[in-house]
Structure 1
Amino acid sequence: MIEISGFGTVLLFLIGGIAFVMVTLLAGKILRPERPNEEKLSTYESGEVPASSSWKVFNIRFYIVALIFLLFETELVFLFPWAIVFGNKEMVAETDGLWGIFSLTETFIFIIILALGLVYVWANGMLEWVKPKPKPSDYQSKIPSGAYEKYKN
């Protein structure tokens, strides 16, 4: 019997997964009908006819909000290992508690730096969204205003 290491098992799973995907895609390519027409080749936009070009320029605020979100979301990547190390009883016991104090201080410094970044972004108005200013309609209705009185609550 052949014994496989942990890396060999992972390699077999990767090869099996890639083979499964390739066989499925190949079977789909062979079995599906190929009948292109104008409607199938058009741009698909949730079942609607596209209103404009897809090369539209987006407001830069979308990107700023996304970057700020990523900044504060990835902080967990750093905080989780700190929490694991901070809770390691052997390391804390070997250093008479200094390791725990160091880890906690380091975590607080990191959170303070992130909070300062948030204050900076907030103070510079990067979280403010430009709201449209609606203008009132100039339309003059032919229906007299008294006609709506019976529909008011």
Structure 2
Amino acid sequence: MNSGLSGYLVLGGVCVGGILLFVAAMVARKLLAPHDPNPAKLTTYESGVDPVGSGWAQTKVRYLAYAFLYLVFAIDTVYLFPWALVLRDSRLGVASLAEMAIFIAVLLVGLAHAARRGVLSWVNDVD
């Protein structure tokens, strides 16, 4: 067998196996799960609150600030750890160090922006 195609055969086998396992799980759920619909079970359930009114409510979007901070720290981790692992390689040189300095400077600008907006204060303000 051609060694170039064997990798694709393995990948195809894993994909087919995954699809078969998914189908088997769905069939088992359909056969084994109890089915007892009633009006209470069929109502809309949203975060433990019964839906009343028009469904339109204006809320503050504080999640964006935390998502922004997560991105700053996650991207920092994703790029700094692999770079630190290969730092001992002599071929990286000054160019790699300069690139990381620019990267860290951009992250620090994002962190300074978050600090200026008050996102880093851990005091809960009640509005």
Decide: shared fold, TM above 0.5.
Answer: yes
Alignment identity in percent? 34
| Cα-Cα RMSD | 3.1
Q: One-letter code of the match for 1:112?
A: A
TM-aligned CA deviation for residue 11 of structure 1? 2.0
Q: One-letter code of the match for 1:132?
A: V
**Structure 2 residue aligned with 1:124:** 117
Distance of aligned partners of 1:57 and 1:73 in 2 relative to their CA distance in 1, 3 Å threshold: farther
Task: Determine if contact 2:65/2:119 at 8 Å carries over to the other structure.
Answer: yes
Bigger drift between 60-69 and 14-23 goes to 60-69
Q: One-letter code of the match for 2:111?
A: L
TM-aligned CA deviation for residue 56 of structure 1? 4.9
Equivalent pairs counted in the alignment come to 123
Bigger relative contact order, structure 1 or 2 (CA pairs below 8 A, ≥6 apart): 2
Corresponding position: 1:33 with 2:27: no
| Whole-angstrom distance in 2 between the partners of 1:9 and 1:108 | 42
Unaligned regions of 5+ residues in structure 2, if any? none
Q: One-letter code of the match for 1:36?
A: P
Listed one character per residue, the Cα deviations across residues 7-62 of structure 1 (whole Å, up to 9, x for unaligned) are 3212211210111011110221133333210222134467x5x2555765442112
**Structure 2 residue aligned with 1:142:** none
Select 2:108's aligned residue among 115, 118, 122: 115
Report SS of the residue matched to 1:86.
coil
| Whole-angstrom distance in 1 between the partners of 2:87 and 2:93 | 5
Structure 1 ranges of 4+ moved more than 6 A = 1-4
Task: Determine if contact 1:121/1:127 at 8 Å carries over to the other structure.
Answer: yes
Task: Give the TM-score, by structure 2 length.
Answer: 0.71
| Whole-angstrom distance in 1 between the partners of 2:83 and 2:68 | 23
**Structure 2 residue aligned with 1:15:** 16
Task: Give the TM-score, by structure 1 length.
Answer: 0.61
TM-aligned CA deviation for residue 73 of structure 1? 0.8
Q: One-letter code of the match for 2:125?
A: K
**Structure 2 residue aligned with 1:75:** 76
| Whole-angstrom distance in 2 between the partners of 1:114 and 1:24 | 44
- The 5-angstrom pairing of residues 58-69 of structure 1 reads 58-69=59-70
Unaligned regions of 5+ residues in structure 1, if any? 93-98, 134-153
In terms of Rg, which structure is larger?
A: 1
